[in-house]
Chain A
Amino acid sequence: MVEVTEHTRNVLLEVAKKRKIYVEGSFLKILKAPKGDKEFEDYLALCKEKDIAVRKKRLEVTKKVQSQNKDLVAKQEENDSLMKDLQIALEEAKLSEQEAEKARAEAEKLRDDAVEDLELMQKKTQFELISTIVKVALYVIIGVGILTTVMYGLALFSGTDTQIIGSTWSNMFGILLTNAFSIVGTIMGVKYATEKD
């Protein structure tokens, strides 16, 4: 402890009185009033009181700042975490988009394949239909040709008048042959067009 001299004591008291300046900080703790100097003891007590008040105030402010700092750090961490989550979500969305794009491309390919299959099936059906029609038409032509020829032959062998049946047979045969060629031509055309597609 440091006991102040009379001169120092007087200066300190005067400064406190006139300028309201008091000793503070750690230095205050080592100052000792001369024995029996009540005035200086009161002065030191007042200095301590003021010093504690200032420190309390500063402590309060520092604690507030410290708490705000902690909040800021926590919020920053929260923000960082959110940003990280957002980044992950964005990456996942990008990945999903890519997968969706892939799925769309696959679906389109499947659709195209299906359309192609359908067209092929339709063409096949058409071709089968045409083939059936042609077969039926050819059977009819051959049937009618045979029937007319048999009737004409019977007429020739039985010695009946063959004028009508003869011209009918000839006309019928001409028509049938023409139709047969026409059918064959149509078939060839359809076949050619189908193959070209």
Chain B
Amino acid sequence: MLIDDEDLFHLVFEDACSILDITLSLEALNSSDEADKLFKSWFPDDPNHERPECVFVDLNIIGSSFNGIEMIDKINNEYGNGCVIGIISSSDDYQEIEKAKKAGAQFWIIKSDDIEPRLEEFRNDYDGYVNKTNPFKIYK
């Protein structure tokens, strides 16, 4: 799942993931409110509902009630986690990265025109995130 307010990035991300064979299907949402609704509907009424394996959240989601870090915090602490989750943002602000870590983000991917190498590196580390054995990592 990708939560990002930029529609064009949805296309870029989907194609990049598909080319790198990272995803089978991608659900792209424009706002954290939409994602919140989905997670809320799955939990606690249907805690065994199939969740996205991995959630990529933009840091600043324009038009949303809360930002990416708050979204991660909600998913981790209110909706029972159950997925690999991290930030994908053009920002590399140290303080924000620290906040994301505290909220339970497992990775931070820096958005740029050339995102494929970072996604490829992420794909190679992915199993470690699933097993929760990988430490927090920033993909620059």
Contact = CB atoms under 8 A, between A and B. Distances in A.
Interface stretch (B19-27, B69-77, B128-136): B19-27
Residues of A in contact with B, size category: 10 to 19
A65 interface: yes
A59 B9 CA distance: 10
B11 interface: yes
B36 interface: no
B21 A59 contact: no
Contacts of A66: 6, 8-9, 12, 113
Contacts of A76: none
Nearest to A30: B24
B54 interface: no
B120 interface: no
A52 B20 CA distance: 9
Contact of B8 (A25, A29, A51, A69): A69
A12 B23 CA distance: 24
Contacts of A55: 15, 18-19
Interface of A: 25-26, 29-30, 51-52, 55-56, 58-59, 62-63, 65-67, 69
14 contacts: A26-B18, A26-B24, A29-B21, A51-B18, A52-B18, A55-B18, A55-B19, A56-B15, A59-B19, A62-B8, A62-B12, A62-B15, A63-B12, A66-B12
